[in-house]
A and B are shown apart, each in its own frame.
Chain A
Amino acid sequence: MNEKIQRPFTASSFNQFLQEQKLMGTRCEKCNALFIPPRAICAKCRSDQMTWVEFSGKGKLAAFTSVNIGLTFMNAQGFDRKNPYQTGIVELEEGVMISARLLGFNPQDPASIKIGAPMHVEFLEIGEGEEKRMQLAFRVD
């Protein structure tokens, strides 16, 4: 048996797990509901008895977009009107959904992106030097 992970149920912990290339969410010990991003209080039964669980990182595309007019921090990564980035919502095989960057699609042909496409997690390294960090992304299989 693995020892229970003792980290607070916060975005900071979630991001720290990402740096360790782990996709982590929480499970309610009372009703077994799964949450990713993690929750400290169960949205189904309101119990605060939660535990960290690792997700497989496999799923399928639930919704997407290709962003031509992007956020400043994304534009700083080289995206612009002519070079859009893709983002969306992935439904994980565990049955819950998460927002993430999408990789592996043709940015010039967003109409070819298919909802339901099989996806797998990819820990995307962005930034330079001190700013370097892993960002959550999913790549089409």
Chain B
Amino acid sequence: MTLRNRPIPRGVSIVGAGMSKFGAFPEKASRDLFIEAYKDLVNSVDKGFDPEDIEIIYVGNFSNDLFEGQSHIAPIMADSIGLVPRPAVRIEDACASSGVALRQGIIAIASGMYDIVLIGGVEKMNNLPTSKVTDTLATGGDILYEIPAGFTFPGFYAAMATAYMHRYGATPEDLMNVAIKNHENGALNPKAQFNVTIPDWMEKRKASAKRKGKPVPTWETTWDFLHDDHANPMIAYPLRLFDCSPITDGATAVLLVADEIANQFTDSPIHIIGSGQASDMPMHDREDLTTIGAARYASHAAYQMAGVTPQDIRIAEVHDCFTIAEIIASEDIGFFDPGTGYSKAAEGVTARIGDKPINTSGGLKAKGHPVGASGLGQTVEIWKQMRGEAGKRQVPGDIPLALTHNVGATGQTCVVHIYERRS
């Protein structure tokens, strides 16, 4: 089938975007992270704005109920920034929660019901020990039929990786190229959890061993380091630690307004011209384990709505919760043919200075993956890149069109957005 994809009936613009620092912050509660993201957003609005004008708040959040023991999080976030009694809505679609929240905000404005909408995303994951985080993330899968088989969240993507490697001949090293690239980008992003390249990480580990008088590891190349079972342990074969996004505390925020009032906020708004969302069955019911069907449907709908093609898109932020996920995503959004994404990554096509830069922010891998905040984090990066405000990681040249691809769990949800900068 084809998903509904008629043009957005009323233009929608982003006029501000912000994020907290991503990382592990024992001293910060979810609302503290959200306040930090909101303040960053406020500073990003060129002509300033009156928070009084915000009409409704959508907050993406995966599982604060389990992570922090606090549900009903939307009014708490609204209250934390002084926005009660405005309606506050929590959106939960696993890791796609805030990408879907953005889409709901677009629908709210496009419908004519609202003109000024605040979108947020937040996840506070580090209160729990790793074993409980593993259990909590797995609840994004099917607890009746997938979890009893022992699938973890890395395990699902690891299974996709084995199917992909088997069909296309990719190797674990091909997957790891994605992590190396994303850490290179993350090293240039001051908000990233891992603000460091993998070679620098290796050197730091050596220096630390030396300083402590411990035996200094003999790694000479990045690959020595990445093949070391101690430095880069297996999580779920074939995925090692550096194939996986980290456990992250973080929040994100975006201010959406109707096109006709965007110039009250900025002379350089970013327009959203395509939005697609799709859902899918659990992995074992899919016809093909080397692609994410919902991502293909959502991409197609977004491209049709925007009236553009993958060739027109300059940069993309895609959902690299695991290295294999970025490779599959680069194919699902139509940048590359099925089975070629891994070679394109190896050739540097997706590097910051390549033809099709992917995840200039460092991606979920290096920037961090506060699950319910991640989708909107992609939008924050696109906002910065399209306006030429990405600092050391700025992609050279104009970026007239960009795309975000945000996946929930193993692809039961995917939401894709296309952004345009005019003039």
Contacts and interface: CB of A to CB of B under 8 A. Distances in A.
B163 A62 contact: yes
Interface stretch (A1-9, A45-53, A85-93): A85-93
B236 A65 contact: yes
Given A100-B149, A135-B148, A89 B159 contact: yes
Interface string B188-201: 00000000000000
A99 B237 contact: no
A48 to B, nearest CB: 18
Given A67-B155, A71-B134, A99-B284, A85 B150 contact: yes
Contact of B282 (A84, A99, A110, A111): A99
Nearest to A110: B237
Contact of A66 (B132, B160, B236, B285): B236
Contacts of B158: 65, 67
B189 to A, nearest CB: 27
A65 B165 CA distance: 12
Contact of B150 (A71, A96, A98, A110): A71
Contact of B149 (A11, A115, A136): A136
Interface string A41-68: 0010000000000000000001111111
B145 interface: yes
Contacts of B155: 65, 67, 87
A60 B72 CA distance: 45
A140 B95 CA distance: 34
Contact of B289 (A89, A98, A110, A113): A89
Contacts of B149: 87-88, 99-101, 136
Contacts of B152: 67, 69-71
Contacts of A62: 163, 289
Contacts, number: 106
A135 B148 CA distance: 8
Q: From B134, B138, B162, B236, name the one whose CB has the most chain A CB atoms within 10 angstroms.
A: B162
The residue in A66, A81, A99, A100 that gathers the most chain B C-beta atoms within 10 A of its C-beta is A99
A84 B151 contact: no
Given A71-B138, A87-B151, A98-B284, A63 B237 contact: no
A97 interface: yes
Contacts of B147: 71
Interface in B126-185: 130-132, 134-135, 138, 144-152, 154-155, 158-163, 166
B307 interface: no
A99 B162 CA distance: 15
A89 B233 contact: no
A21 interface: no
A43 B281 contact: yes
A135 B283 CA distance: 19
A118 interface: no
A72 B237 contact: no
B171 to A, nearest CB: 10
Interface string B274-302: 00000001111100010000000000000
B411 interface: no
A99 B166 contact: no
A31 interface: no
Interface string B205-242: 00000000000000000000000000001111111000
Interface of A: 11, 37, 43, 62-72, 74-75, 81, 84-85, 87-89, 96-101, 110-111, 113, 115-116, 135-136
Which 10 pairs from chain A and chain B are nearest by CB? A65-B158, A110-B237, A63-B159, A66-B237, A11-B144, A115-B166, A63-B163, A99-B149, A87-B150, A97-B284
Given A65-B154, A99-B146, 18 more contacts: A62-B289, A63-B160, A65-B151, A65-B159, A65-B162, A65-B236, A67-B158, A71-B135, A71-B138, A72-B135, A88-B159, A96-B285, A99-B282, A111-B237, A113-B162, A115-B163, A115-B166, A136-B149
9 contacts: A65-B238, A67-B152, A70-B152, A89-B283, A89-B284, A99-B149, A99-B284, A110-B237, A136-B148
